[in-house]
Amino acid sequence: MTDYDTLDALAMADLVRRHEVAPDHFVQEAAARVAVLNPVLNAVVHDFAPMDAPVEGAFAGVPLWLKDTGVAIAGEPITSGTRLHEGVRALTDSTVGTRMRRAGFVFMGRTNTPELALSFTTEGAHFGPARNPWDMERTPGGSSGGAAALVAARAVPLTQASDGAGSIRVPCAHTGTFGFKPSRLRNPAGPAVAEGMAGMATLHGISRTVRDSAALLDVTHGPDRGDPWACPAPSGSFLAAVSAPPGKLRIGMQLEGPDGFPLAPDVVAATTAAARLLIDLGHEIELATPAYDNSALREAWFVIAAVNVARGVKGFARAKGLADPLSLLEPVNAEWVRRAAGISGEDYLGALQTLHATSRAMGAFFDQYDIYLSPVAAEVAPKLGELAGAGKGPEEFFHRFWAHAPLTAVFNASGCPAMSVPLHWTAAGLPVGVHFGAAFGADERLFSLAGQLEAARPWAARRPALEALSS
């Protein structure tokens, strides 16, 4: 049998289905690795009760850790990284949880996320900082930081994650993993909610290989009854798209941060190197900037996040009879909730209209270009503490948050799909992801391009020094 480190999730499932290994073989291996690595990485924050490993399904017998927010699993904890939700257990599976269960996954536990998933670094006060396997003094990003750290450390080939402003793509850029944000409501958010963050939040996963990400979307996507809208149906399977030639693509490349937000030389170098590779592959590249208002989008995101979080916190407090829920939040997030009280319905409607204007601007961009290319984050993975909210007010914290990744949230606002591809490492050995986007509903096109890039510049063999991590 091939070494565990070289197997992706689909390869593991194939061995289980063919009875070449015991159904729980990979579950036991993953659990053993996490037992060694987690005291160092702090990537896992909850363990689930053991479950039988299925022998059928696209992901039969594949161990899966879920992010500590978003996907509910009946009877298991889901705390969103906050003391406020300590002890909460889901009553039922969410729709995506049910679909993953039917695909054969073995649910193992939950990964570390910042409080209420509101940061690009995973170092909340409740569970403490997750660490980047490539440099233990750096963040693995956020808000899916624990999920990305597990995959990067070779504990597991695939984790579940979510993205509301770049929360899949930013951690992947910092950990040398592949991260795909599907089109809006490609994956349903129900049944408890119709959408997350006014449609900006999207469920999916983090993986080493492109095909695992595509196959995961194959088993989770599709409208749920009662959804407010449906994403255009794919022409075939996302997995098939990975091996389909993308054809000659017209690509618009952005190398400057919007509104004067600076982009570090390392991330610009990664993007220009990717452009040279794309030209070698036969694609056409030109400099281009989508004509949306980034300043207005930044303000709209702040408003929508504040109102949605405040509604969630206050609704939870009413249901549980809590007199002072803000005392259980980190100070920066408590203050963000307080600020929401001053946001009017007119303000919120204006923020939604900004999202719609952003969608139209991106639609116009993709009338001219097949693909968008840029850096993911504005810098390589920062040191722990640099992005954290401790000691900061909401405005200072949010400015640093946006400056860290000023080019990702436009894909959440517009609903367009986007991905972080691990194509570059710095001279110091730190990974730098490259950002690609496509028109709403064009997820297959991105997967085709990702498959081509993976074949041209394979990255799966690159790994951090695991011996140092486990010592």
Question: Is residue 234 helix, strand or coil?
Answer: coil
**End-to-end CA separation in angstroms for the chain:** 26
Annotation says 80 is catalytic:
no
d(CA 171, CA 145): 6
**Is 392 labeled as catalytic in the residue annotation?**
no
Q: 352: exposed, middle or buried (C-beta count within 10 Å: 0-12, 13-18, 19+)?
A: middle
Paired tokens of 222: 């599709």
Residue for token pair 């729980």: 24
Strand partners, 418: 181, 437
Cα 260 to the chain's mean position, in Å? 26
Which residues is 375 bridged to in the sheet? 434
Q: Which of 80, 94, 119, 143 is catalytic?
A: 143
Choosing from 67, 183, 359, 448, the catalytic residue is: 67
Q: Give the residue among 407, 299, 281 at the shortest CA–CA distance from 355.
A: 299
Q: Please tell me whether residue 294 adopts helix, strand or coil conformation.
A: helix
Burial of 55 (0-12, 13-18, 19+ CB in 10 A): middle
Backbone torsions φ then ψ of 418, nearest 5 degrees: -155, 160
The residue from 80, 167, 213, 359 that is catalytic is: 167
d(CA 342, CA 337): 10
H/E stretch holding 148 reads: helix 145-152
Where is 409: in which H helix or E strand? helix 409-414
Active site residue 448: no
- Structure-token pair, residue 316: 């939870």
Q: Is 4 exposed, middle or buried (0-12, 13-18, 19+ CB in 10 A)?
A: middle
Buried b (16+ CB within 10 A) or exposed e, 170-204: bbbbbbbbbbbbbbbbbbbbbbeeebbbbbbbbbb
Cα–Cα dist 310/296, whole Å: 21
Q: Tell me the angle at which helices 210-220 and 95-102 cross, rounded to the nearest 10 degrees.
A: 110
Secondary structure class of 316 (helix, strand, coil):
helix
Output the six-digit token pair for 61. Answer: 């017998």
Indicate which residues carry an active-site annotation. 67, 143, 167
